[in-house]
Amino acid sequence: MRPLLIVIGCLASLCRAQEQTNPFDTPDSVAQGAALFQTHCSYCHGARGEGGRGADLTIGQYRHGGSDANLFTSVRNGIPGTEMPAVRATGEEVWKMVAFVKRLGTAGLREKAPGDPAAGKGVYEGKGGCAACHSIGREGGSLGPDLSDAGRRRDLKYLEESLVSPEADVPMRYRAIQVITKSGQTVTGVRLNEDDISIQLRDLKDNLRSFLKENLTEIRHDKPSLMPAYGSILNKKEIEDVVAYLSSLRGTQ
Amino acid sequence: MRVAIALAALTLYAQSPPVTYERLLNADREPGNWLMYSNTYNSWRFSRLDQIDTQNVKNLRVKWLFQGRHQEKFETTPLVVDGIMYLTRPENDVFALDAETGRVLWTYSHKNPEKTYNCCGRVNRGLAILGNRLFMNTLDMHVIAIDAKSGRELWKTEMYDYTESGGYAATGAPLVVKDKLIVGMAGGEHSISGFLDAYDTATGKHLWRFHTIPQPDEPNFGTWAGDSWKTGGVATWNNGAYDPESNTLYWGTSNPWPDYNGDFRAGDNLYACSVLALDPDTGKLKWHYQLTPHDTHDWDATQIPILLDAPFRGRPRKLLAWAARNGFFYLLDRNTGEFLLAKNFVRQTWVKGFDDKGRPEVIPGNEPTPEGNDQVFPGVDGAANWMSHSYSPLTRLLYVFAREERRVFTKTAIRHADEDVATPATVGGREGGGRGGGNGIFGAGGNLPADPAAGGRGRARFAPEESWGKVVAIDPLSGVIKWEHKVLTPPWGGVMSTAGNLVFGGTLEGVVFALDARTGERLWYFAGNERVYASPISYLSNGKQYVSLAVGDVLVTFGL
């Protein structure tokens, strides 16, 4: 029944087979898909696909299937039992959105880093001290994002920028705050949750903390990243190598 | 900078005190926390907090809600550790909440396959904790350790192939004993072979397995006719209790398979419908007591064991109290397994009396029949089920939210393992899934008209007045009921008693209540207006006592 509905709903050439690959996968299509994404998807999935009311699309993992055809079906028909509606767009437009969404979770897959990943691993674990806050697999800290699949999700430019200017793009889940209590205590950490009554954070010692706002004098957001800017800590070669190491992390997918 | 970061790495996880085994042993000394499923190893589900009492409970009000946003039954017992609440939501999602406000701190999600093989809904009843590790069982038969601070998975071990022999599942909360995690499994509705497992809490390594059906050459192997032992069921799907003094683990077992047709499994079918006393270090059986020999009524003995010490017939005894699905309250000597007394706490039609060893003398005519035997009490879902009872050391009474229910026992054809009995992922809503649904408000067992929006499944065979629920206060040393508080419908929620002399619970219609533990008088209620399928807890946040209970898909937290 489902294939019949799809054929009725769009041009047969655009959505003939269940496992069809995307016929609109050129850079131009991706750019057009990005614009369509802003119109149709960003309200729930965030301007950069980082999620919100809808799923985080930058992880590159999809509960309802990650093939081109699966994504096409999810966008085209919506996902029953969830808030994901059928998107009102032509078949061609849907394919272009699919092309863009696929890039969101696989931005790093098409690039080859010039640096030395083995040397970068050494810097990551040693001089950089990265594992204190970031995890790879089951090892490492939790103040910063997990990097197990950073090389699949992020392109080289993004990875380097994250090292040199960490505040350029801080995921919502890892935004740093400072709360100042009425007794004068300052607690710095990563914001986990907040409403008008209270705010929750993970402090620098990895403790989960919650504060009622009536007990605070101020909440500061002026330094959104806890990560040091590594441009002044590592030399150019070391940064290139760390980028190469991060680029080699492709997760389990 | 480098030094600073290295120091930061060293101090990671070093701050709030971990939940040591010592803390678990002495859980009653920190009443502000709720450290295990039944609060303490003796399974009293009794809170020593007394800020909320019989005088001020009338002022109790809702403090915050946790919106579960899930259609499945919400059976969880949360844990609370030093201001953070940890709970499971169906199917196998874990949430850490600020216990003061209910705000989410982190989430963890285990994705189950589309098909799992649970009889009665894709549910989970909660977590265990040791150190900074939380432990959860899953519907697809995994045990998972999760970091309590970050929500990150630390290890994941497969217990068993969940698709085998008609299907296995795990829905109960695990229990930590020393450095071991004791984990039960479900599947007694299928042709499985049950067990109780232990795992290393640090690594997830499998340590021992106790087979609930004796294997060839083991004692009591001959209690199953022919090859019926191979597929005899006998799951371990709820939580247990532990006595550190004698180093004994107590755990109940489920029905033998096939549930309602005992023709091909003649014999007592040990250790089905039994209390097991095990050595937690080795998994070796110390003693057993079978509540229902050769069960054909699905009268699981998977209730939570209650351990108490009291003088009995003139001398101090280590006792085990058990209010069972088969309608009887039992008192045993928990060191020896000696049968001390049994007394029914609901209508019952199947037992004439007990011999000295506690074996029931069964009255003929109670067997399931192909056309359906509707003259048997208690009903299919029993007088008690998985929902927690509570014992108060102040009143010295055992509180049981009991089911007086009229249902039909039908002797069914034997359903083989190759038949597809999986529960689809989409099941939910008011039907429990599996076993003909009927666990919800509007299904069989409910005392309200069928809900047209939910498919209109009603039953006309019995008048609603023939089934009801009641909180009973049993004197465990005599089995005598001191008081009872009747409710409209046989319940699916458990009870908690407190040092404020209150008994908390919730009904299938969503009435959350507080009773006077001494008299059964209802002193307070809240109209939750959705089914309660859980047992309450109590804890302190910022020095104030709270009570939490899942109502519908919402965890409701009350305070003064």
Per-residue pLDDT tens over the stretch B448-468? 444 444 444 444 467 778 899
Nearest CA in chain A to B69: A82
Per-residue pLDDT tens over the stretch B482-524? 999 999 999 999 999 999 999 999 999 999 999 999 999 999 9
Average pLDDT over residues A50-67: 84
pLDDT above 70 for B398: yes
CB contact under 8 A, A198 and B100: yes
What is residue B417's predicted lDDT score, i.e. its pLDDT?
58
Assigned token pair, A164: 């040199």
- Residue B103 distance to chain A (closest CA, Å): 7
- ipTM, interface predicted TM-score of the complex: 0.75
Assigned token pair, B306: 């209650």
Assigned token pair, B111: 């994705």
Higher pLDDT, B440 or B280: B280
Using left for φ > 0, alpha for ψ between -120 and 50, and beta otherwise, residue A72 falls in: alpha
Higher pLDDT, B27 or B459: B27
Q: Which of B72, B103, B134, B557 to mutate to test the interface with A (most CBs of A within 10 A)?
A: B103
Per-residue pLDDT tens over the stretch B415-452? 665 555 554 443 332 233 333 333 333 333 334 444 44
- The helices-and-strands tally (H runs, E runs) of chain A is 9, 7
B104 to chain A, any CB pair closer than 8 A? The answer is yes
What is residue B7's predicted lDDT score, i.e. its pLDDT?
40
CB contact under 8 A, A207 and B15: yes
For chain B, state the CA radius of gyration.
Answer: 22
CB contact under 8 A, B13 and A208: no
pLDDT above 50 for B249: yes
Residue B222, number of CB atoms within 10 A of its CB? 12
Tally A–B CB contacts below 8 A. Answer: 82
Per-residue pLDDT tens over the stretch A153-186? 899 999 999 999 999 988 888 999 999 999 999 9
Domains of chain B: 19-559 (2.140.10.10)
Average pLDDT over residues B217-239: 96
Q: In whole angstroms, what is the distance from residue A190 CA to residue B342 CA? A: 57
Q: In whole angstroms, what is the distance from residue A239 CA to residue A243 CA? A: 6
B8 to chain A, any CB pair closer than 8 A? The answer is yes
Per-residue pLDDT tens over the stretch B146-185? 999 999 999 999 999 999 998 999 999 999 999 999 999 9
Q: Which of B332, B322, B317, B333 is nearest to B299 (CA)?
A: B322
Computed over every residue of chain B, the mean pLDDT equals: 90
CB contact under 8 A, A207 and B16: yes
pLDDT above 90 for A82: no
Contacts of B201 (CB under 8 A, 6+ apart): B130, B131, B133, B135, B145, B176, B179, B180, B181
CATH 1.25.40.80 fits A117-169+228-247, yes or no: no
What is residue A109's predicted lDDT score, i.e. its pLDDT?
84
Same-fold call for A2-105 versus A176-220: no
For chain A, what are the domain ranges? 2-105, 117-169+228-247, 176-220
Of 3.40.190.10, 3.50.50.60, 3.40.50.300, 1.10.760.10, the CATH number of A2-105 is 1.10.760.10
pLDDT above 50 for A29: yes
CB contact under 8 A, A193 and B11: no
Average pLDDT over residues B400-405: 96
DSSP assignment of B182-219, as one string? EE--B-TTTT-B-EEEEEETTT--EEEEEESSPPTTST
Q: Which of B64, B105, B107 to mutate to test the interface with A (most CBs of A within 10 A)?
A: B105
Higher pLDDT, B448 or A18: A18
- The CATH code belonging to domain A176-220 is 2.30.30.100
What is residue B418's predicted lDDT score, i.e. its pLDDT?
55
What is residue B337's predicted lDDT score, i.e. its pLDDT?
98
pLDDT above 70 for A67: yes
Higher pLDDT, A8 or B216: B216
Active-site residues of B, by number, are: 298
Under the banding of pLDDT at 50, 70 and 90, the label for residue A13 is very low
What is residue B2's predicted lDDT score, i.e. its pLDDT?
43
Q: One-letter amino acid identity for B28?
A: D
Contacts of B346 (CB under 8 A, 6+ apart): B327, B377, B378, B383, B402, B403, B404
What is residue A35's predicted lDDT score, i.e. its pLDDT?
87
